[in-house]
Structure 1
């Protein structure tokens, strides 16, 4: 009889302990993430191309070995949320000198893109986003961004409609999840 009551007591303790653990897991704050992380290239995948020509006809290398990573930002001239990102990029670049930033912009022609980005074209490489690029990088919406390691591996990705706030989150996700960038 003593053995049965002792066993039942331990079963109750185990069930209560598991219930408390489950409750704590449910109450834990969710991990930060960007919307639309399921889109685009898979995390851990290498970038499909590394060298492109910018709007100023310069060679743009997406992999900068002297930097800890590269942020690729995909925008469209006709995207309202992209204006938030364009407005915030200059300050983001100033605060993250250890990162390389490249903008891919979709528009009717290069002149339209140059008019949209203004002086930013002198600070950051801007690439005319073609249908081929959209297919290679699996871009299905704007604004979208990837954080690449210095070796070209996708470390973080997602939609960045809130501009600076989302770019900072993208950077945090890439840095916190990959200590050996």
Structure 2
């Protein structure tokens, strides 16, 4: 075998390994997502201000919840087009993941909110509010993931089930750090 051929053969394999490394590094970056506005809202580790609302009387949410997985709190508005696309996502996620408690706060009148949520056959514990300021929500659709003790573990704007799963995974990491 000529020295030129051996050198080119080694160089070829070095290029192949380098390209494989680059592709794997790029693939890892693609799967790292972060939710918009995850740095805004109620700070991680702070108790969520659950109001004493009639909508949440069926189950105790937040501190003292019977849920082992924590609570997912969603915020939407009746005039938000993106929010209209997340109700089916929340509904499907809730049906597939029964180990969490769910709460939905919607900026809407009770009649308007009830008509929007009618296709979901009372799948949501929903409260209709005039203002999201007490919850420090920067925009909608927004979600908080709370610990079983009612403390905020993660937060952010969401649009699909992947984002909700990311919210939970981030929250579980934060819970380990807080413990």
TM range (shorter): 0.7 to 0.9
Asked if the contact 1:71/1:101 (under 8 Å) is kept, the reply is: yes
Asked if the contact 2:106/2:129 (under 8 Å) is kept, the reply is: yes
- Structure 2 residue ranges without an equivalent (≥5): 1-24
Quote the residue 2:35 is aligned against. Answer: 34
Quote the residue 1:170 is aligned against. Answer: 167
- Looking at structure 2, the residues matched to 152 and 176 of structure 1 have their Cα atoms a distance apart, in angstroms, of 16
Query: For 1:130-149, what aligned pairs fall within 5 Å after superposition?
Result: 130-131=130-131, 134-149=132-147
Quote the residue 2:22 is aligned against. Answer: none
Q: CA-to-partner distance for each residue in 1:28-72, whole Å, 9 max, x for gaps?
A: 748532111122101111112353221xx8455322133320000
- Looking at structure 1, the residues matched to 67 and 85 of structure 2 have their Cα atoms a distance apart, in angstroms, of 29
- Looking at structure 1, the residues matched to 160 and 29 of structure 2 have their Cα atoms a distance apart, in angstroms, of 23
- Looking at structure 2, the residues matched to 119 and 100 of structure 1 have their Cα atoms a distance apart, in angstroms, of 20
Number of equivalenced pairs: 150
Quote the residue 1:15 is aligned against. Answer: none
* Higher mean C-alpha deviation, range 98-107 or range 60-69: 60-69
Q: CA RMSD in A?
A: 2.5
Quote the residue 2:113 is aligned against. Answer: 113
- Looking at structure 2, the residues matched to 58 and 44 of structure 1 have their Cα atoms a distance apart, in angstroms, of 25
* SS of 1:37 mapped into structure 2: coil
Structure-1-length-normalised TM-score: 0.73
Q: For the structure 1 residues 129 and 60, does the alpha-carbon distance in structure 2 shift closer, same or farther, using more than 3 Å as the test?
A: farther
Q: CA-to-partner distance for each residue in 1:148-173, whole Å, 9 max, x for gaps?
A: 0010110000001x222211211121
Structure-2-length-normalised TM-score: 0.74
* SS of 2:72 mapped into structure 1: strand
The answer to whether the aligner puts 1:89 opposite 2:96 as a matched pair is no
Quote the residue 1:6 is aligned against. Answer: none
* SS of 1:101 mapped into structure 2: strand
Greater strand proportion: 1
Quote the residue 1:14 is aligned against. Answer: none
